[in-house]
Amino acid sequence: MLKSYSLKHELGDELLPLLKAYRDAVNRTLEALWNNIEWEKRKINGKKQWRLLPKYKVDIHSKEYKKKLRDSLLEDWPYAAHWVDSAIKTAYSIFKSWRKNYVKGERKRKKPTARRLFARVKQTLVKLEGERLRLTIKPGEHVYLDLSKRYFHLPKKVSSAGLGEPIITLEKVHLPVHYEDENQGEKPSVAWDFNMLSLDGYSPETGWVRIDTSKLASVHISSFEKRRSVQRKASKSKKAKKILAKYSKRERNRARKHQLEIARVIQSVAGVVDLEELSKQGMYTRSRVWNRMISRSDWRSIARILTERMGEDKVKELDPYGSSSYCSRCGWENKDLNGAVFECNRCGLRIDRQLNAAINLYMRLKFGYTIKWEDGKKRVELRMEGASQRDWWDHVVLPSLLGGCVLTGAERKTPDELVRELHEVVKPKLYAYDRYADAYLSYAYVERNPSGPRTPWRTRSPSSSLSSPPPRPVGRLRGPAQKLSQRP
């Protein structure tokens, strides 16, 4: 597991010339890459439109090109040569990110430029000497960063298994530290479906897991109403500007607390996290209410926190197209989605709509998928390699959802009544915010009296060290009795 820590330093004046030279080297590399691009006209799949996509004139990843580029940057370079290697690596990473986002339609046809002062330090330029980190500026010239005030454990050496490549700015140094997580490998991969008021996850090992995010949404809604009352006056009054800034900062801090707690719950459940690759830009419509709901969503913030905590190799993004409209059992597409229950007209499956989406995402992770265009319409197909999707669903997914007798919470009308629909049987393992513990805790149903009503009780989250207050009832019940469904 890779974790990054930040520490302040007082070497800004000494590092300022180096950081400016490093930024210039990055921009010169970006300029060279930009000049080796030619624009190719390609047709957009499924549309009558055309786009200009970048294409390299030469092989920019060849050793000859990189050597020529390095030699040009080393002319009149006053610092160690390894700084040039780091600048080239950083510029390639920036250019790759720009090209990826441009193909998606999220960047303009404009050359990327590095504006901030920073430098990525190669491992050959740093050395740990007790409580100090030595940085080589020039051959024989070094500066030392004091690490004695750190708040984390420091590895014994700088290597791929110890301390990674630090990033230095004028005020801080960001240290990536590698830790061995023995328990992380034992946890399963869980696919998560993002929704407005919940996060629904699924894997055969964990079953259906739901995280209630309604409290996070209420933070944005209440803050929006407060800001709207003073937003009109903010352009004319300095006092109103201060109040508006205070409300915005308060909203960010409160939302950040919930985002960190939600990420902690996801990390405690899953060893590998599979998320939807959502883009807000493509989800806006003419509805003002809908656009506000989309803009308040915290999907990317939660994904960013998970990436920082677990590393990029533990957080994967999947194409979400059709995850809610495709039947997870047979692949049939429901073009008329209404309500919270997904109904399949081919195989007769009736299941919770969000659970169906989470299962589809998990199957795309497990089997892989291909994107095809039919009559101008996009379709995502699983790579089952000749296996039956319906048989896999019946032998793997169904037992993980049922597992024998299941408490449903539905009202029992007769003693021998059988549950007729799957969505009535399957209930998720719920995590919700508890204001007494100030954390997201798991909620389980405990049968206190077989002849009386069923009462839900709060239980402590497996990864939480907080001690929960005495259990108390929450929510309302559908009926006075409970019903059991025995899986044949």
Q: Let me know whether 68 and 206 are in one domain.
A: no
Residue 53 in contact with residue 42, Cβ under 8 Å? yes
User: Of 154, 178, 202, which residue constitutes the final position of a domain?
Assistant: 178
Q: Let me know whether 172 and 195 are in one domain.
A: no
* Domain annotation covers residue 393: no
* Domain annotation covers residue 213: yes
* Domain annotation covers residue 63: yes
Q: CA-CA distance, 211 to 263, in Å (whole number)?
A: 10
Q: CA-CA distance, 344 to 421, in Å (whole number)?
A: 12
Q: Let me know whether 268 and 213 are in one domain.
A: yes
Q: How far is CA 300 from CA 303, 306, 357, in A?
A: 5, 10, 19
pLDDT in tens, the chain (488 residues): 677 888 889 899 999 999 999 999 999 999 999 999 999 888 877 777 788 889 889 899 999 999 999 999 999 899 999 999 999 999 999 999 999 888 888 888 999 999 999 999 998 898 888 888 899 999 989 999 988 887 777 776 666 567 888 999 999 999 888 766 544 457 888 999 888 888 899 998 888 899 998 888 888 888 888 888 787 777 778 888 888 888 888 888 988 989 999 999 998 888 888 888 887 777 777 788 888 888 888 888 888 898 888 888 888 888 888 888 899 888 888 888 888 888 888 888 888 889 999 999 998 888 888 888 877 778 888 887 767 888 888 888 888 887 544 344 445 555 554 445 666 667 788 888 887 778 888 775 333 334 444 444 444 444 443 333 443 333 333 333 333 333 33
DSSP 333: B
Residue 419 in contact with residue 350, Cβ under 8 Å? no
Closest-CA residue to 301 (of 335, 252, 346) = 252
Which pLDDT score is estimated for 107?
Answer: 86
Q: CA-CA distance, 251 to 244, in Å (whole number)?
A: 11
What is the β-pairing status of strands 272-276 and 189-194? parallel
Closest-CA residue to 454 (of 402, 410, 396) = 410
CB-CB neighbours of 260 under 10 Å: 14
Q: Let me know whether 173 and 211 are in one domain.
A: no
Q: Let me know whether 20 and 104 are in one domain.
A: yes
Residue where the block lists tokens 């197909």: 381
Q: Cα 209 from chain centroid?
A: 17
Q: Let me know whether 333 and 425 are in one domain.
A: no
Range of the domain at 411: 402-488
Which pLDDT score is estimated for 446?
Answer: 36
- DSSP output for 245-256: HHHHHHHHHHHH
CB-CB neighbours of 411 under 10 Å: 13
Residue 320 in contact with residue 164, Cβ under 8 Å? no
Residue where the block lists tokens 């300095």: 238
Residue 337 in contact with residue 325, Cβ under 8 Å? yes
The pair phi, psi for residue 303, each rounded to 5°, is -65, -35
Amino acid at 22: Y
Q: CA-CA distance, 172 to 135, in Å (whole number)?
A: 14
Tokens read off for 324: 């809610």
* Domain annotation covers residue 396: no
Q: Let me know whether 20 and 165 are in one domain.
A: yes
User: Of 326, 352, 384, which residue constitutes the final position of a domain?
Assistant: 384
Residue 315 in contact with residue 303, Cβ under 8 Å? yes
DSSP 348: -
Collect all residues with Cβ–Cβ distance below 8 Å to 10 and sequence separation of at least 6.
Answer: none
DSSP 413: S
- Angle between helix axes 299-310 and 238-269 (nearest 10 degrees) is 50
Collect all residues with Cβ–Cβ distance below 8 Å to 116 and sequence separation of at least 6.
Answer: 23, 169
CB-CB neighbours of 258 under 10 Å: 20
What is the β-pairing status of strands 167-168 and 119-120? antiparallel
Bridge partners (DSSP) of residue 284 are none
Q: Let me know whether 97 and 129 are in one domain.
A: yes
Count of domains forming the chain: 3
Order of strands across the sheet with 2-8?
2-8, 172-178, 167-168, 119-120
Q: Let me know whether 379 and 437 are in one domain.
A: no
Q: CA-CA distance, 18 to 202, in Å (whole number)?
A: 49
Which pLDDT score is estimated for 351?
Answer: 87
Number of H helices, E strands in the chain: 11, 23
* Domain annotation covers residue 391: no
Coil, helix or strand for 424?
Answer: helix
Cα dihedral sign for 354, 355, 357, 361? positive
Q: Let me know whether 174 and 198 are in one domain.
A: no
Coil, helix or strand for 440?
Answer: strand
* Domain annotation covers residue 397: no
Q: What percent of the residues of the chain are helix, what percent strand, and what percent coil, each to the nearest 5?
A: 35, 25, 40
Which pLDDT score is estimated for 485?
Answer: 38
Q: Let me know whether 367 and 432 are in one domain.
A: no
User: Of 358, 384, 410, which residue constitutes the final position of a domain?
Assistant: 384
Tokens read off for 110: 């404009």
DSSP 452: S
Q: Let me know whether 167 and 23 are in one domain.
A: yes
CA distance from start to end of the chain: 42
* Domain annotation covers residue 394: no
Which pLDDT score is estimated for 424?
Answer: 65
Closest-CA residue to 171 (of 314, 56, 7, 398) = 7
Tokens read off for 75: 């002319």
* Domain annotation covers residue 333: yes
Cα dihedral sign for 17, 23, 28, 29? positive
Q: CA-CA distance, 268 to 315, in Å (whole number)?
A: 14
